[in-house]
Amino acid sequence: MINSRVIIACDFSSWDELISFLNKFNGEKLFLKIGYQLFFTIGIEKIKQLQSIGHNIFLDLKLHDIPNTVAHGVESLSKLGVDMLTIHASGGMKMMSAATTYNNPKTKLLAVTHLTSSSQEMLNNELFINEDINVAIKKLAINAYKSKINGVICSGLESKMIKENTSTDFLVVSPGIRYPDSNSDDQHRICTPKMAKENGCDYIVVGRLITKSTNPLEMYKKVVNDFMGEN
């Protein structure tokens, strides 16, 4: 797997837009997160092309359905041999366990706990979960761990708590990465690269902080240094 544990969220609307962005990195091999917006546009063949170039791929499709449907969805996607693939922890333990049945050993299967755009108010008033958001996230992570999922997607604020309640080997991949002077956009539970490192995150996912930067390569290097550096 590529040395960098900083994954770039490529929320672009077209292949040309993605390639234009990647050209700014002088041929550097990157870890790319491909979500709905881009995947539904470029399709499987372009994912294979990105892999052939040397990029690692995190396919963020957040599968959530009945166990059998998710299992066969994972089976189909696993043929790509991507590095990471997401499902929703809220689908339950049977669904998560079923997902592992057909998964390619090369692909790390990650369960989304609660999106970093979720707040305590949303949890209580819109999802009707009358529980502290940290407790809810912890329980979902434990369920994923018991279901033999490789790790979870959660805010870097929750990484330490999850490691303590599962295993140090249980992967925590954290989006919602921002600097104090940057726009939080639609994210609520955010943290800096340094905070994510201190909390024990294994990988961070960084999107607009890099993709909207006037100098994406320099911002990428800064984030990598802050998250993976010695200091």
169 contacts 149 by C-beta, under 8 angstroms: no
**Cα–Cα distance between 29 and 2 in angstroms, integer?**
8
| Residue 62 falls in the annotated catalytic set | yes
Contacts with 29 (C-beta within 8 Å, 6 or more apart), sequence order: 2, 53, 54, 55, 56
**Cα–Cα distance between 112 and 90 in angstroms, integer?**
8
Helices within the chain (DSSP H only): 15-22, 36-53, 67-78, 93-101, 120-125, 133-146, 159-165, 193-198, 208-211, 216-228
The one catalytic residue among 46, 48, 62, 139: 62
Known catalytic residues are: 62
